[in-house]
Copies of this chain bind each other. A is one copy, B any other.
């Protein structure tokens, strides 16, 4: 199960007609309470989609009753008309759910620069509202309806022995990049929570999950992660336990995004230790993870540690070139900045590659999940308009 595993939530996914294929393309997630606390993290892109501008605005109250999500169009670079469509979408859901438009967030994904057909969206909201259900099938339909180049629906759940749970759904396969929410995701919990700490809980979880996934370095206009808390379990969760659970669910979802990234043939973890600080470790890991020459080498199952060393060297972190150790899939290839073995000593033929970089300067550690740069990535992104 997923977003409907926590009590107090219903979901639906329907075919509104936004995708020419007739596939599911509009989802609705509703929090039936008794509480309606919510927090959100949004893209830091200065070009923000209309639904991001709308949802940031409504989230200032700290409460949400529902989220409408659609694929088949990002509603980004659509001006005042696009904002009106996002607003009308929220109003339509509010009317059907007997709440205010200010209680409804909107998320969109798909091609940038295309207006969404208002009547199609509004009819879709009505259809979704009629399909709302607490079942796993309904949650799966919602997770499916937000897919773009994703090939599988992505859901995760954490059931706490104390009697509450956290569920999540997400989408995202390309335009996935550093330092922000990086896709659309809705995470639900039935724990009774301290509303004042909810945003902090979400930020802490996102920082070490979605923010540590970097497929192609491209920051989207639409990235949104929402956390909704219904309190329906009647069991209070302290901020620490809730943070751990939300982090576990977000990490699970991020790993699913990595595994289903555009054109992926290798799931790569770049782990950095021995940096002066955690931030510097992440900077080094991200620089290596984004380097096209590293990504193409790993696509070719080539343990080209020299390209890794070059990327470490041009990162914005402090490094000592004579202390860099590089280990790939458990085989040390570089010690103290110099070759420690043949480039072919490490077996990279499988789908999982771990690049360990030890900087020898301090205790800072951090990792980034990424993917290789493959022919399939080029094919998908030169042919698919997103």
Contact = CB atoms under 8 A, between A and B. Distances in A.
Interface of A: 44-48, 74, 76-79, 111-115, 174-175, 177, 216-221, 290-293, 296-297, 299-300, 302, 304-307, 309-314, 319, 321-322, 324, 334, 336-339, 343, 373-375, 377-379, 381-383, 385-386
Given A299-B378, A339-B77, A378-B299, A314 B385 contact: no
Given A293-B216, A311-B218, A378 B381 contact: no
A115 B192 CA distance: 63
A188 to B, nearest CB: 29
Contacts of A297: 381-382, 385
Nearest to A339: B113
A309 B111 CA distance: 12
Contact of A309 (B77, B300, B310): B77
A177 B313 CA distance: 13
Contacts of A175: 293, 307, 310
A321 B216 contact: no
Contacts of A377: 292, 296, 378
Nearest to A221: B310
Given A314-B46, A375-B379, A216 B292 contact: yes
Given A174-B293, A293-B174, A306 B375 contact: no
Contacts of A300: 381-383
Pairs A-B, 8 closest by C-beta atoms = A112-B306, A47-B313, A300-B382, A296-B381, A219-B314, A113-B306, A79-B338, A45-B313
Nearest to A319: B46
Contacts of A322: 79
A138 B79 CA distance: 60
Contacts of A378: 296, 299, 373-375, 377-378
B306 A79 contact: no
B299 A337 contact: no
